[in-house]
Structure 1
Amino acid sequence: MDWSLIIKSLVTLGGLGLILGVILLIASIKLAVKVDEREARIRSVLPGANCGACGYPGCDGYAAAIAAGKAPLNSCSVGGPEVARKIGEIMGQEVTAAEPKVAVLICRGGKNEAPLRFQYKGAQNCRQAALLLGGPKACIYGCVGFGHCVTVCPVQAIRMGENRLPIIDERKCIGCGRCVTECPKGTLTLIPRRKLIYLACVSHDRGRAVKEVCSVGCIACGLCTRVCPVGALRMENNLPVMDFQKCIDCGICAHKCPTKSFIDRAPGRPKASINPRCTGCGECVKVCQFKAIEGEPGKQHRVIPEKCIGCGQCVLVCPVKAIDLVGALGHSVKTI
């Protein structure tokens, strides 16, 4: 056996391995992708829902974008203010948490309110049904009613009701907006969680054209824009558009609407109550749009409970603060 040949082979192979190892080491150093340690820390505080509400493909993508300075720190609707605060601490910045939102259905035309114009025998899928002449409902704007939103909700916050309309569990909803982007008819939207009043109609028709296809659709009468005490509504393309920053949730628009196209999320509304401090000035009578207050000039007035909707306008105008709203826990009157 030629040991010298074996030794030379081992030395050659060892040297070659050493050279290749050095080359790989240099390459790994030169081509290394530097990972910001903040990215891992940010990822650890994110909830891991991977809902995409932040606009990035999952929590990993959002964490990387924040660390790179390419994304706002408060876009995680699932984590809310607490997660935004923790991310701010990691990034060394002060963060104002984004306003929490909730998904709502902006269509009331179920099978009992919106008739069908043809019998649909295809796949029970909203997207496929919508491709066929806009869906089987006579109202081409309304909810198709096959529950695509139910299947895409990452937290099972939506179920279909008996009236073929989705029902959203606001306690479960994380405001990610996935149902909104997936709805082929645009009948779901996100509103500030604090808001109580919103319009539940997306039809751009008006008058008879609406009533022929839906009994609860907005007919574009514009009454809501005229009765709103703070000018929070304006007509646009035959629909009232609400300015949520102006709206005080008084509920006047919802109660005045002839087709009941507005939804009031308040679990209960209070009633006005007038105490003996009342001087009988009559300012409350003037401002009440429901004729819910009566009384003689100079004498204590009284509220007619069955007419009062608890809008609070009388409270705001009473010069002697003789009116209170009672009967609904947690209700507060917003100033104009």
Structure 2
Amino acid sequence: MEITTPVIIFGITGMGCGLLLAIASRYLLVKEDPRIEQICNILPGYNCGSCGYGGCSDYAKAIVTEGKPINLCAPGGKETLQKLSEYLGVKADISERRVAIVLCKGGDNVAKRKAQYNGIADCSAAELIAGGHKACSYGCLGLGSCARVCPVNAIEITSDNLAVVHPELCIGCGKCVVVCPRHLIKLIPETRSIHVLCSSKDRGPVVKKVCDVGCIGCGLCVKIANSPALTLDGPLAVVNYSHPLENEEIIAKCPQKTIEKRPGTITRSS
């Protein structure tokens, strides 16, 4: 009897607590707005974080509960924005899709090394060791940090250790832009096709010593283009992607062959 009574009391107490919790859960349950799930289904589901949130679910909640703009999803592009606009009944500016580009073409076949790097395959780590192994202090280190963070495998590290973005695969999330320690990667409108593939701020004679295809700041392309789309920033020709650059003569006239026209598809190296 001494053992049975406490067991019965505890049992009744447990049942009572369980009943109270069941009642409380019914009345205190916070129902999620069904629009959140619908918006999640519209978003591409990459969970890349380019919108500034932890993933598509968090962004969907922010749209519904905080009224955040619906045009923050870069990977979704115009199609996703159009669907969100129609579903929510709100207007949004449909901007042009953006893709990443690496503003350097100095692979090992054309750019010199100042040392042999034997550390971990990480560009930031290599940069910390005497400023990297490339003789050009602005060139692509080619260790693949950008390729590893790309959620859709749009970045290839070529056989000569150069990062190349395949624009037809790029979703414009910007993760590669953030991870590059030399800030060589930019997000640009996908319709822009002419690029100065160099980021060196060194003078021409210095550039020529370390890279066969680096910009020497001669200014010839700027004179030929005669457009706000192409200017000299010190010794470097820089494309202003907010303006169209269509004069292809500058590609042929560039003495260093630094300027290229990149089509919508770049063939992967074997």
Query: Which residue of structure 1 lines up, in the alignment, with residue 95 of structure 2?
Result: 98
- Given that 1:141 and 1:185 are in contact with CA atoms closer than 8 Å, whether structure 2 keeps it comes out as yes
Structure label with greater radius of gyration: 1
Structure 2 distance, partners of 1:182, 1:41, is 32
Query: Which residue of structure 2 lines up, in the alignment, with residue 139 of structure 1?
Result: 136
Q: Shift in Å at residue 143 of structure 1?
A: 0.5
Structure 1 distance, partners of 2:10, 2:121, is 70
Structure 2 distance, partners of 1:94, 1:129, is 46
Q: Does 1:125 align with 2:125?
A: no
Structure 1 distance, partners of 2:37, 2:55, is 14
- Given that 1:47 and 1:78 are in contact with CA atoms closer than 8 Å, whether structure 2 keeps it comes out as yes
Query: Which residue of structure 1 lines up, in the alignment, with residue 44 of structure 2?
Result: 47
Code of the aligned partner of 1:56: Y
Structure 2 distance, partners of 1:103, 1:203, is 19
- Given that 1:160 and 1:167 are in contact with CA atoms closer than 8 Å, whether structure 2 keeps it comes out as yes
Q: Which piece of structure 1 moves more, 228-237 or 39-48?
A: 228-237
Query: Which residue of structure 2 lines up, in the alignment, with residue 214 of structure 1?
Result: 211
Query: Which residue of structure 1 lines up, in the alignment, with residue 160 of structure 2?
Result: 163
Structure 2 distance, partners of 1:56, 1:76, is 10
Structure 1 distance, partners of 2:251, 2:134, is 25
Code of the aligned partner of 2:212: S
Query: Which residue of structure 2 lines up, in the alignment, with residue 286 of structure 1?
Result: none
Structure 1 distance, partners of 2:35, 2:70, is 13
Structure 2 distance, partners of 1:176, 1:100, is 11
- Given that 1:38 and 1:90 are in contact with CA atoms closer than 8 Å, whether structure 2 keeps it comes out as no
1:59-98 to 2 correspondences below 5 Å: 59-98=56-95
For the aligned residue pairs, the C-alpha RMSD in angstroms reads 2.9
3-state SS of 2:178 partner: helix
Q: Shift in Å at residue 263 of structure 1?
A: 1.8
- Given that 2:230 and 2:245 are in contact with CA atoms closer than 8 Å, whether structure 1 keeps it comes out as no
- Given that 2:204 and 2:235 are in contact with CA atoms closer than 8 Å, whether structure 1 keeps it comes out as no
Query: Which residue of structure 1 lines up, in the alignment, with residue 257 of structure 2?
Result: 260
Structure 2 distance, partners of 1:176, 1:225, is 31
Structure 2 residues without counterparts, runs of 5 or longer: 265-270
Code of the aligned partner of 1:127: S
3-state SS of 1:67 partner: helix
TM-score (norm 2): 0.84
Structure 1 distance, partners of 2:67, 2:92, is 15
- Given that 1:49 and 1:59 are in contact with CA atoms closer than 8 Å, whether structure 2 keeps it comes out as yes
Q: Shift in Å at residue 144 of structure 1?
A: 0.5
How many residues are paired up?
A: 263
- Given that 1:198 and 1:263 are in contact with CA atoms closer than 8 Å, whether structure 2 keeps it comes out as yes
3-state SS of 2:210 partner: coil
Query: Which residue of structure 2 lines up, in the alignment, with residue 112 of structure 1?
Result: 109
Q: Shift in Å at residue 201 of structure 1?
A: 0.9
Q: Does 1:238 align with 2:235?
A: yes
Structure 2 distance, partners of 1:43, 1:253, is 45
Structure 1 residues 15, 152: closer, same or farther in 2, change over 3 A? closer
Q: Shift in Å at residue 106 of structure 1?
A: 0.7
Identity of aligned residues (%): 39
3-state SS of 1:203 partner: coil
Code of the aligned partner of 1:180: V
Code of the aligned partner of 2:238: V
1:125-204 to 2 correspondences below 5 Å: 125-204=122-201
Structure 2 distance, partners of 1:64, 1:238, is 47
Query: More helix by proportion, 1 or 2?
Result: 2
Structure 2 distance, partners of 1:41, 1:200, is 42
Q: Which piece of structure 1 moves more, 44-53 or 88-97?
A: 88-97
Q: Shift in Å at residue 19 of structure 1?
A: 7.1
- Given that 1:66 and 1:72 are in contact with CA atoms closer than 8 Å, whether structure 2 keeps it comes out as yes
Structure 1 residues without counterparts, runs of 5 or longer: 268-336
Higher relative contact order (CA 8 A, sep 6+): 2
